[in-house]
Structure 1
Amino acid sequence: MARRSTVKDVAREAGVSVSTVDRALNGRMKVREETLRKIAEAAHKLGYHARGLIDHRMRPDRPKMRFGFVLLKPSQAFYQQFAKEIEKAVSARKDIDGQAVIRYAKSQAPEEFASLMESLGRRVDSLACVAVNHQSLNPVVRDLQEKGVPVFSLLNDFAQGIRRNYVGSNNVKIGRMAAWMISKTVKQPGKLALFVGGNRWHGHDLREVGFRSCIRENAPALPVLDTLVNLETRELTYEATLDLLSRHPDLRGLYVAGGGMEGAIAALREMRQPHEVSLVVNELTDDSRAALADGYAVMAIATPLDTLCTELIELMINAVHAGDDGVVGQYFLQPRIYLPDMI
């Protein structure tokens, strides 16, 4: 059986005296916040049994606030990192005793998003969601807003005019950036293609609009094929990309406007040489990083998750304190661009 951690172990790990840890536990004398933080981190690292008491000493007078989040696909690297950044942004706030409550949608069904938002909204002070744009979400968002729970749309806008703020990228500009890069890197005449996650992802629709408008303006000789829906899955994207490459030997450019890029990368590796097809993807993961390094992708457009989460928590706190002022808006973040030479 593993030995149980002691006060001496915590003191050694935190680099302080045993008496300082004792004061942090019992509150007999004031301990500096920075010292308390070191002790708390050491206690959590060692699994010390009284770590909850130390946490309480760190925030005795701060108001409690619960933040709810609905995300997608917990197995995807992007959403795993998203959850980590949310937790980090909440814990970094020293003015509140914050807690992040994260739930994941298992499908793209509007009914599931509505159910998650409704149930989670009863337990939190503010709610932020990655969700489809569908009319069935409107009454849920309106009801939460009327009950004093501000709702934020993340990455993909929904309940426009009802929700408090949209926080994410300017998706028309994202689509134009992808098109511009492809138009500059295509080496021969040919066709272009793009994938969207589904017809209910408003952000993907906007990326498609931006992509097609930029190609019309800057590379009209490159025809864009009918848009394909991949439901943001690797498998569908893989099969559809294999089919594209088989039916269109002159495919020169491909943009995956949402998830599922792993499938496109895998198909290109099987059927094309590096640099034959200019691929642009969203988000920097192990797969997209390798594709950039190997010449199978020309650009990854990444969401600045750390900045997004920090700014989002600030907006959520302000919305809770200020109440509903009737103002709705959009909060655009500058994307991070990754090119092969940067990997």
Structure 2
Amino acid sequence: MDFMARRPTIKDVAREAGVSATTVDRVINGRTLVREETMRKIAEAANRVGYHGKGIIQGKLKTSVPEVRLGFILLKKSQEFYKNFALQIEKEVSGRPDYRIIVDIRFSSSQSPDEFAQLLQDLGRRCHAIACTAVNDKRLDPVVQRLRDEGVVVVSVLNDFAQGIRKGYIGLNNMKIGRTAAWMITKTVHQPGKLAIFVGGNRWHGHDLREVGFRSLVREVDRGFTVLDTLVNLETRQVTYEATLDLLHRHPDLKGIYVAGGGMEGAIAALREVHDIPHVALVVNELTAESRSALIDGYAVMAIATPLPELCAALVDQMVESSSKGVEGASSQYFLEPKLILPEIL
């Protein structure tokens, strides 16, 4: 229908929504209560026809739907991945017509269990449900238990923690991720040698699983590769950079590196500095500007990326549903399919 020649009216909205003009007028002026389903049809119709009062109708719809407050605890605010994560959360909740969702996003500046505990407690005082990427530390268990007792849902994201207490886990199957990284390196490298793996810390359950998966597949292929002792990089660029330079110096037969968490920028920088032409097969975690450049230039062979739109959609769905149904009931695990980024698709 072409409304370009004139300004759309209430009658146009009513016709598009399949309701009477009187019903549309009731929504706009709030004279009587109108069912939520009908209000939503009218709001969508107003948007389609370009009705000038669509903002008023949308506002009426928002005040008619239930409110839910969701809290999110992410990691380093300066990292590109977590910036994108926060933006995707905002985008996901803004598109929900069934709830008026108020979001509170916090960032942990360290891997300290005390900081995670404080953030959980702060959000627990104002949120119905909390999604958190935190270390797997027993000191967090009583915090999550208290929140559960108070009716606050806690969902672990990317790294599972407080198992048996938290409501659910949403993220990647980390054991399979580690195996995938090892599969790519052992298929890419045609001569046996040393392999290295970086993890963020000793309390990241997801990184532990990635390491186990990586080592198990290397053993299974049995092609003469040796996996060196695991290196902890605290997910920082500088530590990874210095450790990679040391690896290259001490192990001339180093054939592959897997950075299971953050800090890949340091490994990329060290490889570029030492090798004019790529000699080491590097698998990294997440696609960023730097990992994209490394893939294009041959300094990385694959990036294993988290599908943020799918993650945030599933996460908000579970948090909203759990907040309305309560904390009781079986906990769950939801594994997302990773995005495997190869140089040829960039």
Query: Per the shorter chain, which TM-score range?
Result: 0.7 to 0.9
> 1:212 maps to which residue?
215
Report the more deviating stretch, 273-282 or 224-233.
273-282
Select which of 294, 298, 303 maps to 2:297. Answer: 294
In structure 1, stretches of 5+ residues that fail to align are: 1-13, 44-50
CA drift of 1:38 comes to 8.0
Report the more deviating stretch, 184-193 or 111-120.
184-193
| Residue-pair matches, total | 323
- The alignment's TM-score, normalised by the length of structure 2, stands at 0.86
State which structure, 1 or 2, has the greater radius of gyration over its C-alpha atoms: 2
SS across alignment from 1:133: coil
> 2:28 maps to which residue?
27
Tell me, in whole angstroms, the C-alpha distance in 2 between the residues paired with 1:16 and 1:281.
55
4+ residue segments displaced more than 2 Å: 14-20, 26-32, 34-40, 53-58
CA 1:269–1:170: 2 relative to 1, 3 Å: same
> 2:83 maps to which residue?
80
8 A Cα contact 1:73 1:104, kept in partner? yes
1:254 maps onto 2:264 in alignment: no
8 A Cα contact 1:133 1:157, kept in partner? yes
Identity of aligned residues (%): 57
CA 1:62–1:234: 2 relative to 1, 3 Å: same
CA 1:137–1:56: 2 relative to 1, 3 Å: same
SS across alignment from 2:64: coil
8 A Cα contact 1:234 1:263, kept in partner? yes
8 A Cα contact 2:195 2:254, kept in partner? yes
SS across alignment from 1:326: coil
CA drift of 1:34 comes to 3.1
CA drift of 1:19 comes to 7.4
> 1:307 maps to which residue?
310
RMSD value, Cα: 2.8
Tell me, in whole angstroms, the C-alpha distance in 2 between the residues paired with 1:140 and 1:200.
17
SS across alignment from 2:142: helix
> 1:330 maps to which residue?
333
Select which of 211, 223, 226 maps to 1:223. Answer: 226
SS across alignment from 2:210: helix
Tell me, in whole angstroms, the C-alpha distance in 2 between the residues paired with 1:54 and 1:262.
48
> 2:135 maps to which residue?
132
**Cα-to-partner distance string for 1:223-250 (whole Å, 9 max, x where unaligned):** 0110000000011111111111111111
> 2:65 maps to which residue?
62
SS across alignment from 2:29: coil
Tell me, in whole angstroms, the C-alpha distance in 1 between the residues paired with 2:116 and 2:328.
26
Select which of 152, 162, 166 maps to 2:165. Answer: 162
Select which of 98, 110, 114 maps to 1:107. Answer: 110
CA 1:263–1:307: 2 relative to 1, 3 Å: same
CA drift of 1:28 comes to 3.3
CA 1:116–1:295: 2 relative to 1, 3 Å: same
Tell me, in whole angstroms, the C-alpha distance in 1 between the residues paired with 2:337 and 2:5.
40
**Cα-to-partner distance string for 1:278-320 (whole Å, 9 max, x where unaligned):** 0000111111111111101111000011001001111111111
Tell me, in whole angstroms, the C-alpha distance in 2 between the residues paired with 1:170 and 1:184.
21
Give matches, 1:108-123, under 5 Å. Answer: 108-123=111-126
Select which of 228, 233, 236 maps to 1:233. Answer: 236
- The alignment's TM-score, normalised by the length of structure 1, stands at 0.87
> 2:274 maps to which residue?
271
Report the more deviating stretch, 57-66 or 206-215.
57-66
